[in-house]
Structure 1
Amino acid sequence: MQLETYISDLLYRYDCVIVPQFGAFLTHRVSAKVHETTHSFYPPKKALSFNEQLQTNDGLLANYIAEIEKVPYQVAVEKIAKQVKAIKSYLIEGETIALNNIGDLILNTEGNINFEPSHHINYLTDAFGLSQFSSVNITREVHKETVEELEDVIPLTITPEKRKSRPYLKYAAIALIALTIGGFGASKFYAGQIENHNQLAQEEANEQLDAKVQEATFVIENPLPAATLTVEKPTGNYHIVAGAFRVEANSDKKVQQLRDLGFKARKIGVNRYGLHEVVYSSHTDRLEALKALRTIKRTHNRDAWLLVKAID
C-alpha cells in the first residue's frame, strides 16, 4: 500500500491529515511574495509541516483508503497500523523515510521525528498552473517630475502674435499640398512596380527549384538494418540492500558479482554516511519486496534488509 499517495491526495482538500499512532501532516496558506534581491515572484501556496503529537484516529485517512481500495473500514485501519509499524522500525534503525511529494522523515538524537517538507509540489488548488518566475529590475523615469519642478519655478506665458494678412501664403500652401499628393502617388506607383517584379522573380525561382528537385534521384545502396534496443529501467521505492561501501570501486565490484549470480543489482547513490549503497533489486510492491527479501536472507545473505526510498 502506497500510504504517501493517499496522504498526498487528501492534502489537496484538507488542512490536516492524521496518520493514526504516528502523527499529522498539516498545511497552512502562505501568500504570494516577491524576493527583493533576486526579483523573483512566488505564487501563493500551502506550506507543509508535521506534528507528532496528533495521533488520534479521526477516520479521514482510513475512510479514504477503504473507499479507494474497496475494503472494509477496519481492514483499512489495520493496513495503516501495519505500515506505521514498518516506518517506525526503519526510523529506529536510523534510516530516512522519503515520502513521495510530501517530504523526508528521520529520527533526531532525542528520539523525535524531524520532517523536511518537499518543495516540488503546491497543494493549494487556487494556485494551480502558477509557477515561480523572475523579472528584471524596473528603473522608473523621473523626467516628468523634473519638468513639473521647472514649471513651478519658471511659469510659461504664451502671448498670441498679431500678423498682417499675406494672401500669397495661401497659394503657396495649396501648391505645396499638390506637390505632396503627386509625390506620394508616384512613390506608391513605383513601390507597386517593385512588388510585382519581386513576386514574378520569386515565382520563377520557385519553378526552377521544383524542376531541380524533381530531376534529383536519391539512391541508398545496402541500407543498414534497423536496430531495436530494449532497456529495462529499475523502478520502485522498495530496495533490498546488499551492502554499503566507502570505496566506490568496491561497490562496482559488488554489483558485477550480484549480476553474475542473476540478480538485478545496481547502485542507488550515497547515503547520509557517505557510503555507496548496492541493492539486489528494486520493487514497486511492498509485499513483493518482502517476499524477495525473505528468499535472499534464506539463500544468500542473512544481513540483507529493506530500504524504503524514492529514487529519481
Structure 2
Amino acid sequence: MRMEQYISQLLYRHQCVIVPGFGGFLTEFQSAKLVASTHTFYPPKKMISFNFQLKNNDGILANYITKVEKISFEKATEQIENEVKEWKLLLQNQQSLLLNQIGKLTLNPEGRLVFEPIDTLNYLTDAFGLTSIVSPPVKRELLSVEPEPKEEKPVIVLSTEKQRPNWFKYAAVAVVGLGISGFFVNQWHETKRANDLLQVEKAVQKKVEQKIQQATFFIDNPISSVSLTVVEEQKNYHIVAGAFRELKNAEKAVASLQKLGYNARQIEPNKHGLHPVVYDSYSRLEEAQQALGEIKANHNKEAWLLVQE
C-alpha cells in the first residue's frame, strides 16, 4: 500500500493529516510573493510541515482508506500500523524516507526527525492553474533637463538731454495726487458695500433662527433598534483527555478536570458512540500544540489532539 498517496490526497482537503504512531503532516497558507533578485512572482500556496508529537489516531486517514479500498476500519488501521513499522525500520537504518508528492524524512545525529517538504506541488485548491512567472525589470529613460535661459536685464541708458521745465514737475505731482485720492474713494465704497451685505446676512440669519425655534419636528416612522450578532470564533482544535462509553463517567471526568482549573467540557459524541471529554478547545493549531505539550508534561501523557473540520 502506498500510503503517501492517500496522505497527499487528504492534504488538499484537511489542514492536518495524522499518521497514527508516527506523526502529523500540517499545511499552512502562504501569501503570494515576489523574489526581487530573480524578478519572479509566485502564487499563494499551502506549505507542508511535519510534527512528530501528533501520533494519536484521529480517524481521518483510516476512514479515507476504508472508503477507497472498501475494507473495514480495523483492517485499514492494521495496514497503517504495518506501513509505519516499515517507515521506522527504514529510518533506523539511517536511510531517507521519501514520500512521493509530500517530502523527505531523515534522522539527524540526535535521533530527531528532519522533514524537507516538496515545493513543486501546491495543495491550495484556490490557486489551481497558477504558476510562477518571471517579469523582466522595467527600464526607465532618464530625461535630461536643460537649464532655462536666463532673462537679460534691460540696459539703462542715461540720457544727456536737457532737464524738463518746472511746470512739468507740478503737473506730474497733480496726476499722482488724483490717482491716490481715487484709490481711497474706491476703497471707501468697497468697505461700505461689504458692511451693507453683512447687515443683510445677519437679518436673514436671525429670521431663520426664529423659524427654527418655532418649528416642531415629528418622526412618523422611528427607526427600530438594531441588534448586533457576535459571531464566535470557531474552535476546531480539542485536547482530548479521554472518551467514555457511559455519560456519567464523562460528567465525572469533566468535574474533576474543572476542579484542577481546566476549561473542561464534553463535545458531541463520535460515530462510535463515545463521549469525548476535552481539557479545552482552541481556534489556532499553534495554541493547541503548546497547551498539549504542557498538559502532557504536567498532568496526562496520554492526552491527544483532535482536529475537527
TM-score tier, shorter chain, comes to 0.3 to 0.5
Pick the structure with greater CA Rg. Answer: 2
TM (norm. structure 2) is: 0.46
